[in-house]
Amino acid sequence: MKNKKTLYVSEQFKRKGFLFFFVIIFLGQLFFYFYSSQSAYEDLNFFEPVPPHLFDSIPKTSLKTEKLARPNKGAQKAVISPIKKDINEVSDFALRSIYGVGPVLSKRIVAYRNAIGGFVHMDQLYEVYGLDSLVVGRIKKQFLVISMPDIDLISVNSATAYELSRVPFISKEMSEIIVKHRARNGLFSNFDEILNIIEIPPDKIHIIQLYLSYN
């Protein structure tokens, strides 16, 4: 019975000894951890101040912010005008690049151009059905009459009213007045005689004259 009690006490002592040993090891590691952390933190906070004379070697221009160059308010911007294309050479597809000119109007412009043999003046665009002044203005900004077409002159003294009505800016009513006046008063000798019987806008006179002859 005594041996059993002795063995029991010995086992208890061993277990307490192992537990005490592990506690000592744990406390030692914990102390080492806190000591290392504090040392590293102190090293980071410790630095040597930079001697003032080292700043003298830095160029002063590098310490200043360079100002961006600003354009002079009084300077005028250069205006680059676009290169205009020939209205007599352009395709109907290219005309669609103009805002307000779709497939229908572009084909109508080309058809009218072919019917009159080519534009001699950009104002002839006003004769194309469906084109308003705003769209014509946009077309004028990108296109120009460069190559003058070969015009088949129409004789004021022998043409029918229908043939005269095909001249740009001469309406059907105007052509009928010209033919009736010719029948009553004889042949025309100059354009001034025509201006006496019909009213033509001054900016259209020089265009109409290009299509007429007095043979």
Q: What is the mean pLDDT of the chain?
A: 78
The pLDDT of residue 85 is 92
Q: What is the DSSP string of the chain?
A: -HHHHHHHHHHHHHHHHHHHHHHHHHHHHHHHHHHHHHHHHHHHH--PPPPGGGGGGS-GGGGSPPPPP---TTPPPPP-PPPPEETTT--HHHHTTSTT--HHHHHHHHHHHHHHTS-SSGGGGGGSTT--HHHHHHHHHHEE--S------EETTT--HHHHHTSTT--HHHHHHHHHHHHHH----SHHHHHTTS---HHHHHHHHTTEE--
Q: Which of 60, 68, 212, 83 is nearest to 141 (CA)?
A: 83
For residue 140, pLDDT over 90 is answered with: yes
| Class at the top of the CATH hierarchy for domain 85-144 | mainly alpha
Of residues 182 and 33, the one with the higher pLDDT is: 182
CA angle 118, 195, 166 (to 5 degrees): 30
**Span of 26-35, 119-128, 146-155, 160-169 with lowest mean pLDDT:** 26-35
Contacts of 93 (CB under 8 A, 6+ apart): 106
Contacts of 157 (CB under 8 A, 6+ apart): 182, 187, 188, 214, 215
The full set of domain ranges for the chain reads 85-144, 154-213
Looking up tokens 């063995």, which residue turns up?
Answer: 7
Mean pLDDT of 115-123: 89
Backbone angles phi, psi at 85, to 5 degrees: -100, 165
The pLDDT of residue 117 is 87
Task: Locate 77 and state its tokens.
Answer: 């911007």
Instruction: Tell which CATH architecture fits domain 154-213.
Output: Orthogonal Bundle (1.10)
The pLDDT of residue 152 is 83
Of residues 57 and 135, the one with the higher pLDDT is: 135
The pLDDT of residue 203 is 84
Mean pLDDT of 156-182: 92
Backbone angles phi, psi at 143, to 5 degrees: -130, 160
6-57 pLDDT tens trace: 545 556 655 666 666 667 777 777 666 665 555 544 444 444 555 555 555 5
43-101 pLDDT tens trace: 444 445 555 555 555 555 544 444 545 555 555 555 555 688 999 999 999 999 999 99
Q: Are 111 and 127 in contact (CB under 8 A)?
A: no
115 pLDDT band, cuts 50/70/90, is: confident
Per CATH, 85-144 and 154-213 having the same topology is answered: yes
Q: Are 82 and 140 in contact (CB under 8 A)?
A: no
